[in-house]
């Protein structure tokens, strides 16, 4: 079976605040919130790359649909990586994210493996690594 991961959904507490952060803070393209006409259906999708989207959905709605009790969020359960083309782009995205409400947990710095990265938390506490990996070449 060929892997076909097409959507990464993360739970948020405030959908409007999260939309503004991802749209304005990380610059991700979106058509905004859709599905508001359905109970527990409001969601926003962001285009990441061909065939891959990021979705934000209220944590309580995820719990309701999946029949899993909501637990306390933990920012160290996973990180998402935003790979860029240069140190300057990393610095610019981290500054833009901070302006939109991100908490910088690890300022951008040269890494032991030859790259450059920093970590930020979005307003819901999700961790993002903003990174330049010279071994990966130019990213779209």
Q: Where in the chain are all domains bearing CATH 3.10.180.10?
A: 7-66, 80-132
**The domain defined by 7-66 carries CATH number 3.10.180.10:** yes
- Its pTM stands at 0.82
Tell me the fold of 80-132. Answer: 2,3-Dihydroxybiphenyl 1,2-Dioxygenase; domain 1 (3.10.180)
Q: What is the pLDDT of residues 57-93, one digit of tens each?
A: 999 999 998 899 998 888 888 899 999 999 999 999 9
For residue 131, how many other CB atoms are within 10 A of its CB?
A: 20
Dihedral-angle region of residue 8 (phi above 0 means left; psi in -120 to 50 means alpha; beta otherwise): beta
Burial class (CB in 10 A: 0-12, 13-18, 19+), 71: exposed
Q: What is the pLDDT of residues 25-59, one digit of tens each?
A: 999 999 999 999 998 889 999 999 888 999 999 99
């Amino acid at each position: 079976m060929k892997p076909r991961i097409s959507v990464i959904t993360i739970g948020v507490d405030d959908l409007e605040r999260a939309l503004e952060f991802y749209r304005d803070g990380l610059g991700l393209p979106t058509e905004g919130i859709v599905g508001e006409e359905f109970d527990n259906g409001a969601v926003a999708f962001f285009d990441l790359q061909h065939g891959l989207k990021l979705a934000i959905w209220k944590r309580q709605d995820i719990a309701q649909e999946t029949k899993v009790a909501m637990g306390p969020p933990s920012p160290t359960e996973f990180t998402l990586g935003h790979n860029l083309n240069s140190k300057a782009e990393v610095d610019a995205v981290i500054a833009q994210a901070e302006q939109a409400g991100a908490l910088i947990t690890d300022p951008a710095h040269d890494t032991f493996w030859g790259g450059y990265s920093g970590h930020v938390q979005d307003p819901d506490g999700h961790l993002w690594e903003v990174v330049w990996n010279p071994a990966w070449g130019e990213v779209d």
